[in-house]
Structure 1
Amino acid sequence: MNKAITYSEDQLAEMEEAFQLFDNRGDNRIHISHIGNALRALGQNPTESDVKKFAQQHKADERIPFEVFLPIYQAISKNRSSNTADDFNEGLRHFDKEGNGFISSAELRHLLTTLGEKLTDEEVEQLLAGQEDSLGNINYEEFVRSVTSG
């Protein structure tokens, strides 16, 4: 059973307003290459693979209207896993050698810049700011909580 997502007028207006931020021609359309940024501006966190999957359904130079963007937004929001924080914690737990809830900031920095969707050093610096204790360790559950809560 396919459940349709319904949005209030306020929610739709907010989505359309964020969408319009990426309309650089004033034609109520955005370039297909901007869908990832538009989704992120609306609080979604699509992977690059998600973005490519949707972008490949359109021509590389295509500009899409909000009516085409909305189903993409809906698909990304449906796929958002409520277990994301648990998944991150479980993955980081493997690097918690002492089983005390901490991993070294150097190790976390390495993971974030080399695995999955690699972050830049600057992005890692922003994420880790204020997370490190006096021993150079990070409570990974607090870290995940701060990252996933936006």
Structure 2
Amino acid sequence: MGIAGGRFAFSIYDFDGNDTMDAFFLGDCLRALNLNPTNAAVEKLGGTKLKKQKFLKVEEFLPIFAEVKNSKDEGNNEDFLECLRLYDKHDDGKMLFAELQHILLAVGKYTFVI
């Protein structure tokens, strides 16, 4: 995705239509552009943990998008799968759901509803 894709994604997260995006959604917007920044990287780039603390204009977002796009500091699917292989105790491509849930909750900071 190029600049046009970045502008389009930004416009999706411009909920109020005032050409700004809440920095809380910076990581979501970048991930919507098929990028994989870590939560720590998003914070360093200006993302916030709470809504309505900081707002970005498209002119501020596009350089961030370019930086993340060109960055080599991100995980990929192969890295994730390699980590999961550590829990494949029987070498059959399977793992216990409880272990997967623990990994995602502890390391990935995701929330699951069971």
TM-score band (shorter)? 0.7 to 0.9
Greater length-normalized contact order (CA 8 Å, ≥ 6 residues apart): 2
**What's the counterpart of residue 141 of structure 1?**
none
Larger Rg: 1
The ranges of structure 1 where at least 4 consecutive aligned residues each deviate by more than 4 angstroms after the TM superposition are 80-83
Q: Structure 1 length as normaliser, TM-score?
A: 0.59
Structure-2 separation of matches of 1:15 and 1:29:
13
Deviation at residue 43 of structure 1 after TM alignment: 2.4
What is the TM-score normalised by the length of structure 2? 0.74
- Residue aligned with 1:55, SS: coil
Residue in structure 1 matched with residue 59 of structure 2 by the alignment: 67
Letter in 1 for 2:79: D
The secondary structure found in structure 1 opposite 2:90 is: coil
* 1:86 corresponding residue in structure 2: 78
Against the structure 1 CA distance between its residues 52 and 25, is the aligned structure 2 distance closer, same or farther, given a 3 Å change threshold?
same
Consecutive unaligned residues of structure 2, counting only runs of 5 or more, are none
Q: How many residues align structurally?
A: 110
Q: Offset of 1:81 from its aligned partner?
A: 6.4
Unpaired runs of at least 5, structure 1 = 1-6, 126-150
For residues 7-64 of structure 1, the C-alpha deviation after alignment (integer angstroms, 9 at most, x for no partner) is 6xxx4333212201222443322233332222123222322111110117xxx84432
